[in-house]
Structure 1
């Protein structure tokens, strides 16, 4: 076996000392010389925060605390591992749910115990070679240089890289879809399927239909995918997205429930199942899923105080006040000194006291909640602001409720799902259609602002157009439509009137804002591609 690990930094994460020693000895036979060990998930993350590892060999079951899947999820979320890092999950248990859960987090490999040095060598050599070759593409994608990523991908596809050809084709098809080049994406996925029935290629065709707005066509692809490959979890996620876009919440619940049955350790799907079941009034399913999310969150990067309060709110609606209060007490214990958790608890306590007829205590809790909301400034999550507005309506503080609601509607006027949440909230306090005029007027005002801004730009009044949008953003800071239009105008100005440093910085700031407010990356893909090309032209011009 050739020396593939000399000079590579390696982390072994294993709670049993004898197994750590066995793996270490295997690595020594492969010429490894830089080995670090961790006996649990927390120590593994600490080690990763200090060293940029080339290889992580992580056991799935690590005893009390985080498991291997949670370590990988947190390492990615916190950017503790780079593109070059090969992350292998090792496990002895082979139950379908555990394997699916481990693979759901997309490690580079899944290695079953027992294994020998030869088997480990094969996995490491394959992944280190692939990572080294594809690393440049991954870096360009992360930087937003999609034109360079596509160019590099095409260059590698033209070369003789048979071992990674399928990986390259997958990346090229995904990049094509991301930038709106649906014809290229379809062509690549179709060619792949002619050679071999790979579930991700079927998925890719469905994603293209979804991004093109053909929900019926997308659903057909995803349904057929799951018929042929019922264990392919991403298919359930995308099919649920289709149904959600069509406002078919019962179908969403059914599909997510199927995925949860296959992989019950997925906290994000449990959250989705709970929220969907809650919206359609399926109390039994919602309670079970909220409890699962709370339990799974104990050692997860996706742990959230909202899971506790959502469960408590469900108890409150079903007149199980004692269970609601116990859940809030547990949340305060888990999230000590967390202002958002305290605000969530206090807001719900106001409603619980109101329901029990204790108006004085309800008033004090609401007053405290409003003060905490003020202290959080613009950091209060939108769902929590909606709860506070609901509390104000219940205590006949309509003025304060309207102020909160008005800001929410203006900021999230292009989020139809959230507007439906607003409508549901108002129906729950006996005020159905109360904000419909405000919603429709705000939508009309947004359309008028966009039309006026585009018109000003077409007249050559770039500064006036941008000033108009900047003014709109001041009152609607998280409005996705305005940010996208500002990006379009900025990029058009760069192409039509020349590139300079100030304009490039403005575009970069807008892309950063777009990511912060979580604009769908597919909506940004084509714009990012344009900007990537402009950046390349600018840097090439600077070299001349």
Structure 2
């Protein structure tokens, strides 16, 4: 296998005999950079430290952590531990392959059916490397954040590499979804389906239709897809979202229960089932799901203290405070050192005091949770918003406002000023709603001033960062949008083209066009944007 001696390989297999056999095969193929992981947990730890060209993964990883190779692949991609250039080859039996190949939306680069020879392994690795080379120009553009050029690269590659035409079309559709061009993505998926009735293409089409707001159509298509292919697990997840969008939480719960019965080890799906079950008022189902989540995640690299909080919530609703207290103690013991531990423990303890009829102690713990959030990281906006509502119930106005400000000020939260104000309005606290709105508006104005100061000092990157923070707080404020657009253009003109910022700039220009098509700055900004593209040789 000349020319492949520099490839690095991670073998994931619990069987020492198979690991030894694979090493011998790889050595015969001229590949000597081989490392090993005995289960998904050790694989994840190694991939957190370094990347590999190839991952050879056994599908059946044993019962130690409950994950199979497919679920490991989905975790690695979900948490972005492997990139587009990583070759992931699944090693499996023919019986398992027949089930997995139709059930997986996220597929490996290739499957190798056992038993196999060194010649088969060499051939498949060679084929995977050849495929990677065909995709390399497109993957590089994606890595640069230049999705529009990457889409054009896909179109060109579909003609140049007909063998991979469907794969390029799929990648193109996924990038269109990333750019929120759902109507264009829908067309691409439809073109694929006109040629071949592929499960993932039906699912992608339904996802685009759902994003376009045609929930009924997406739901009907997914129901038919699941009938035809009951092993396509991601279809259940999207169907549950359709039912949630229609306010049918009980139906969403039923769909997820069906999915968990087929594939019981995916922690993210179990967690979602628990949340939906609580919304549907099915405390027993929520308890069961969150217990499984806590148990399965115990030895995971992606443990989340919020799972214990959710289990406490279900147990308190059930009226089982004794068991809930045990969960709080387990939370403190098993997640010691977790950055969100103190906030989660205090919030869970507050629920226990509330259930025991001790509002004074509950309020004290809610205050402690609010203070702990200032030093915590990684906690979800959902938990923070729940804490806000609990603080409002206990008339902890300052704490509720502080937590809400921390949520909106987090650029990753996706919670807008309007959504924050709505929480206070629904609680009947019009005074706090008005106050939080005014505070956030004032913060946005302060950030505009900070951006001006940074720009005047020559810190154009810092100015754009402040403008992005202001934009997160006030995404529909025309003054903020204009400032952000101008700041991005200045940065790119001075420091070079930046594809993600260029895309954001284009989005803001279109937003200005919708908000005020006659605005006097719209045409000058559009002209400057096009001139900047021409300056760097980017097609207008």
TM-score by length of 2: 0.75
Instruction: Give 1:57's aligned residue.
Output: 56
Provide structure 2 residue ranges, at least 5 long, that are not aligned to the other structure.
Answer: 445-463, 508-526
**Partners in 2 of 1:14 and 1:88 — Cα distance?**
12
- Determine if the alignment matches structure 1 residue 501 to structure 2 residue 494: yes
Paired residues of 1:42 and 1:66 also in contact (CA < 8 A):
no
Q: 1:189 to 1:64 in 2, by over 3 A?
A: closer
Instruction: Give 1:12's aligned residue.
Output: 11
- Determine if the alignment matches structure 1 residue 142 to structure 2 residue 143: yes
| Deviation (angstroms), 1:123 | 3.2
| Deviation (angstroms), 1:149 | 0.2
Higher mean C-alpha displacement, 2-11 vs 137-146:
2-11
Instruction: Give 2:32's aligned residue.
Output: 33
Higher mean C-alpha displacement, 87-96 vs 209-218:
87-96
**Partners in 2 of 1:105 and 1:154 — Cα distance?**
22
- Determine if the alignment matches structure 1 residue 225 to structure 2 residue 225: yes
Note the aligned Cα RMSD (angstroms). 4.6
Instruction: Give 1:86's aligned residue.
Output: 87
Paired residues of 1:88 and 1:108 also in contact (CA < 8 A):
yes
Q: 1:166 to 1:486 in 2, by over 3 A?
A: farther
Q: Of the candidates 398, 401, 407, which is equivalent to residue 400 of structure 1? A: 398
Instruction: Give 1:481's aligned residue.
Output: 475
| Deviation (angstroms), 1:375 | 4.3
| Deviation (angstroms), 1:84 | 2.2
Higher mean C-alpha displacement, 78-87 vs 303-312:
78-87
Q: 1:169 to 1:353 in 2, by over 3 A?
A: closer
Higher relative contact order (CA 8 A, sep 6+): 1
Query: Secondary structure in 2 aligned to 1:222?
Result: helix
Q: 1:506 to 1:437 in 2, by over 3 A?
A: farther
| Deviation (angstroms), 1:317 | 1.8
| Deviation (angstroms), 1:400 | 3.1
Q: 1:235 to 1:27 in 2, by over 3 A?
A: same
| Deviation (angstroms), 1:150 | 1.5
Instruction: Give 2:349's aligned residue.
Output: 349
Instruction: Give 2:251's aligned residue.
Output: 251
**Partners in 2 of 1:494 and 1:37 — Cα distance?**
45
Q: Deviation per CA, 1:105-129, whole angstroms, max 9, x where unpaired? A: 5432344433333443443233222
Q: Of the candidates 514, 521, 536, which is equivalent to residue 539 of structure 1? A: 536
Instruction: Give 1:320's aligned residue.
Output: 320
1:118-517 → structure 2 map (5 Å cutoff): 118-159=119-160, 161-179=161-179, 184-358=184-358, 361-362=361-362, 364-376=364-376, 381-393=380-392, 396-404=394-402, 407=405, 414=416, 422=423, 433-435=427-429, 478-479=472-473, 481-482=475-476, 490-491=484-485, 500-501=493-494, 508=501
**Partners in 2 of 1:531 and 1:13 — Cα distance?**
52
**Partners in 1 of 2:236 and 2:153 — Cα distance?**
32
**Partners in 2 of 1:114 and 1:211 — Cα distance?**
43
Residue-pair matches, total: 496
Q: 1:480 to 1:309 in 2, by over 3 A?
A: farther
Paired residues of 2:488 and 2:502 also in contact (CA < 8 A):
no
**Partners in 1 of 2:13 and 2:141 — Cα distance?**
34
**Partners in 2 of 1:102 and 1:34 — Cα distance?**
32
| Deviation (angstroms), 1:346 | 1.8
Q: Deviation per CA, 1:145-181, whole angstroms, max 9, x where unpaired? A: 012202211221232x232111112222333444455
